[in-house]
């Protein structure tokens, strides 16, 4: 594992900011990703030509540099980490681990929800899920999603966030469209409602939320175009073994 120190200027009131990020909540940070990084990522997303295209894994992308550190820098990861620091620190702490196999560029398509549910094990539009897994369960995780397009959530696919708080991993994955109705019914029975929100995101805007928060790709077939997003998942270094791959980057905020 490689360890880096990330120096950032403390923001006034950052402790309060981060504390708000319980499940079912989210924060939007406008223009978190610099334009130069957006340009680099757009070049890569050109290869995502169809609904079955696999996402681009940033850590392995030679076009972005010779090693993981250069690739992350060119993708703008240090900038978004600095911006997300209050939320990351509140959930994870001063030392955090960036999950290598979960730093990716995903393209989602303007298709109906029912079509997305039938995609099954797909690489693009995802149905309701949490980003944890059975091993990691309810251990801390922060998810950051940065849109590379304007109008995400209206003109092109966005992300739906389930407003219900939850404190455990339900074991529903984003390709299990066949289980979505069962899941929606279970949430209705448990919580009495199924309230969702679709944040509006423009290019460079970052959505940040707790890893246990339920979310899905929000799309319909009257949207005009696809949407690309950079996704990053962060956990505590001591939870590394809950995920495959062992060459993760560790960041220490100072």
> What tokens does 80 get?
């978004």
144 lies in the binding site for ligand AKG (CB under 6 A): no
Burial class (CB in 10 A: 0-12, 13-18, 19+), 254: exposed
**Alpha helix (H) residue ranges in the chain:** 14-19, 35-45, 68-75, 77-91, 113-118, 180-191
Interface with ligand AKG includes 131 (CB under 6 A)?
A: yes
Q: Between residues 97 and 253, which has the closer beta carbon with respect to Fe ion?
A: 97
Contacting ligand AKG (CB under 6 A), which of 229, 230, 232, 251?
229
Q: Residue 152 and residue 154: Cα distance in Å, rounded?
A: 6
Q: 40 or 125: whose CB is closer to ligand AKG?
A: 125
Nearest to 152 by CA among 215, 209, 226, 84: 226
Give the burial class of 238: count Cβ atoms within 10 A of its Cβ; 0-12 exposed, 13-18 middle, 19 or more buried. exposed
Is the Cβ of residue 179 or residue 215 nearer to ligand AKG in the bound state?
215
Q: Which of residues 76-115 bind ligand AKG (CB under 6 A)?
A: 106, 108
Q: Which two tokens stand for residue 236?
A: 């505590």
Sorted by sequence, the CB contacts under 8 Å of residue 142 that are 6+ apart come out as 21, 84, 87, 88, 91, 92, 96, 208, 209, 210, 211, 233, 234, 235
Give residues 127-146 in contact with Fe ion (rule: CB under 5 A): 131
* Residue 217 binding ligand AKG, by CB under 6 A: yes
Query: Is the CB of 83 or the CB of 130 nearer to ligand AKG?
Result: 130
Q: Which of the choices Fe ion, ligand AKG, none does residue 68 contact, using the CB cut-off of 5 to 8 A by kind? A: none
Contacts of ligand AKG in 155-194 (CB under 6 A):
159, 174
CB of 154 to ligand AKG, least distance (A): 14
Closer residue to Fe ion, CB minimum distance, 8 or 242:
242
In the complex, the residues that contact ligand AKG under the rule CB under 6 A are 106, 108, 126, 131, 159, 174, 215, 217, 229, 231
């Amino acid at each position: 594992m490689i360890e880096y120190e990330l120096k950032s200027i403390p923001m006034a009131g950052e402790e309060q900011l981060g504390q708000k990020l319980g499940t079912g909540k989210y924060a939007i940070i406008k223009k978190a990703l610099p334009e130069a990084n957006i340009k680099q990522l757009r070049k890569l997303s050109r290869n995502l030509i169809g609904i079955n295209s696999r996402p681009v894994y940033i850590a392995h992308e030679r076009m972005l540099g010779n090693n993981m550190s250069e690739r992350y820098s060119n993708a703008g990861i240090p900038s978004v980490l600095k911006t997300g620091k209050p939320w990351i620190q509140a959930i994870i702490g001063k030392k955090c681990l960036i999950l290598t196999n979960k730093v990716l560029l995903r393209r989602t398509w303007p298709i109906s929800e029912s079509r997305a549910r039938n995609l099954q094990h797909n690489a693009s539009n995802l149905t309701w899920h949490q980003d944890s897994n059975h091993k990691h369960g309810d251990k801390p995780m922060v998810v950051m999603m940065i849109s590379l397009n304007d109008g995400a959530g209206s003109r092109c696919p966005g992300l739906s966030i389930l407003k219900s708080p939850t404190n455990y991993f339900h074991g529903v994955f984003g390709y299990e469209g066949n289980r979505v109705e069962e899941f929606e019914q279970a949430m209705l029975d448990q919580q009495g409602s199924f309230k969702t929100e679709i944040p509006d995101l423009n290019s460079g805007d970052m959505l940040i939320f707790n890893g246990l928060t339920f979310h899905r790709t929000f799309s319909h077939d009257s949207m005009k175009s696809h949407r690309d997003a950079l996704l990053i998942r962060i956990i505590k270094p001591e939870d590394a073994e809950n995920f495959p791959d062992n060459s993760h980057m560790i960041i220490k905020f100072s």
